[in-house]
Structure 1
Amino acid sequence: MAVKTESRSVTIATADGSCDAFVAHPAGDGPHPAVLFYMDAIGLRPVLEDMARELASHGYYVLVPNLFYRSGPAPVVEVTDLSTPERRAEFFGKVMPLVHALTPDLALRDAESYLGFLAAQDQVGSGPVGLTGYCMGGVLSLRTAARFPDRVAAAASFHGGHLATEAPDSPHRSAGDVRAELYFGHASEDDSMNAEHISRLETALDAAGVTYRSEVYPDTVHGFTMSDTAAYSEAGLARHWEALLDLFARTLKQA
């Protein structure tokens, strides 16, 4: 049953500065299981804050950091109308350099700070955390689960791209380090995560003995959970919530 929530902006000290972030959690005292929510490439914005509040209403303390904080507070790139190809091309022309600048080493160094922030909160239980990530955040969800296996019990990726490439540092190559239960919700039309990539990911997970579910959402494109974009699928978002809440309910135990 959904509960009343509270939310606010916070600042997290990292090795490279101060990261602005958004927090949502059930009203009143905890403790509650913690969730680190990794944004998509569009950035920290109202739609993600609404999603964090929704997740918090089911009993979780949710942290959504601005992953691009090194370039300034959110919105680092002002989000305008993304409904036309021309506007999308202009926007992503500004955003993609930020995505590429966030190397795996930097992202995982930040992840340690985010996990440390969560552990220090009075309303957060002492048990392991959950992760959920969207688009580029899906990649970071898998990487973080592999880097911090003792601290992550569950990790989800929705329309995550480039999870299983031929690159030496492709996320799927770290499957052997994962102890968390994983969930992948793939778009049916996504050049960054097509059927070949999905097969490569699942082969690596199977070989590593990881517990996971990997599902393709029909009639969806990359970004389908985001209601402020043309990629949005109402059915896809609803199915995402069902899968995510099921994963966390089974794996995140209140301390």
Structure 2
Amino acid sequence: MFEKDVAIVTRHGLMPAFAVRPDGEGPYPVVILYMDAPGIREELRHMARRIASAGYYCLLPDLYYRLGTVRFDLPRRDERMSAVVVACLRSIDNERTTDDTAGMLAFLDGEAEANAQKVSCLGFCMSGRYVVAAAAKFGPRIASAASLYGVGLVTEDEGSPHKLVAKVPGELYFAFAETDSAAPPATIATLQEALAATGVVHDVDIFPNSEHGYCFTAGRCYQPEAAEATWAKLFALWKRTLA
């Protein structure tokens, strides 16, 4: 595989990102991997490499770039580090991430190895709501979006994903943990009701015996059965929507 660190021009400055794709000229279909709240780390790069190994050009942006270079040593996480993580995640919102997505799409248009006419967005945790916002904002350009144990999916603000799904022309996939205080059953039910009231193609999974963060191998909540089932759904989604 070929990988590189890049700098993407956005309305707010230069955003660092990690890009990885198979060897060869391509062009390869594109998956944008939006980070979770703990931010850029090697585990996310490994996920990007897994996506690329299946034949995709994967772009992993650093959404905290407005704050400088933010990196967390997660094995030493305590209450004080968690407070900083929360402060960082509150520094971004729908507007900022869609601005950043516009910059990413422009960057991808200039990459000869990327077939960016149709793109899929993948977001974990914090970014679960932002991939829905991107799919609503950029219309047919976003062929599909997947939100994995997303937070803030049902809120009072107008940018709440359950209010935006009606504006999404692409396919949506939502995966939830069975036990997750950030996405309790009531939240999932409200989202499903909103999806059912639209014509958007969608799928919702709730994986048994799982907790928030079940896809991350380095985390205490890693659940391999649920994680691999989710990956299977993702690769099927990309094969279906990025062909």
**Length-normalised TM-score, structure 1:** 0.92
Query: What is the aligned counterpart of 1:235 among 222, 225, 232?
Result: 225
Between the aligned partners of 1:64 and 1:221, the Cα distance in structure 2 is 24
Aligned with 2:83: secondary structure? helix
CA contact (8 A) 1:42 1:79 kept: no
CA contact (8 A) 1:77 1:95 kept: no
Q: 4+ runs of 1 displaced by more than 4 Å?
A: none
1:149-203 per-position Cα deviation (integer Å, ceiling 9, x unaligned): 1210011011111212233331210111101111111011111111111111111
Partner of 2:2: 6
Residue correspondence of structure 1 range 117-196 to structure 2 within 5 A: 117-196=107-186
**Length-normalised TM-score, structure 2:** 0.96
Shift of 1:126: 4.7
Structure 2 letter corresponding to 1:203: E
CA contact (8 A) 1:165 1:197 kept: no
Residue correspondence of structure 1 range 89-108 to structure 2 within 5 A: 89-108=79-98
CA contact (8 A) 1:225 1:237 kept: yes
Between the aligned partners of 1:237 and 1:23, the Cα distance in structure 2 is 23
Partner of 1:116: 106
Between the aligned partners of 1:200 and 1:78, the Cα distance in structure 2 is 33
Structure 1 letter corresponding to 2:3: S
Between the aligned partners of 2:174 and 2:239, the Cα distance in structure 1 is 16
Between the aligned partners of 1:117 and 1:99, the Cα distance in structure 2 is 24
Between the aligned partners of 1:245 and 1:26, the Cα distance in structure 2 is 16
Query: What is the aligned counterpart of 2:193 among 203, 208, 211?
Result: 203
Between the aligned partners of 1:172 and 1:115, the Cα distance in structure 2 is 24
| Structure 2: gaps (5+ residues) | none
Matched, 1:80 2:74: yes
Partner of 2:237: 247
1:69-109 per-position Cα deviation (integer Å, ceiling 9, x unaligned): 01113xx0322315xxxx34222211111111102211111
CA contact (8 A) 2:41 2:71 kept: no
Matched, 1:19 2:15: yes
- Root-mean-square deviation (Å): 1.3
Aligned with 1:37: secondary structure? strand
Aligned length: 243
Q: Identity of paired residues, percent?
A: 35
Between the aligned partners of 1:60 and 1:234, the Cα distance in structure 2 is 23
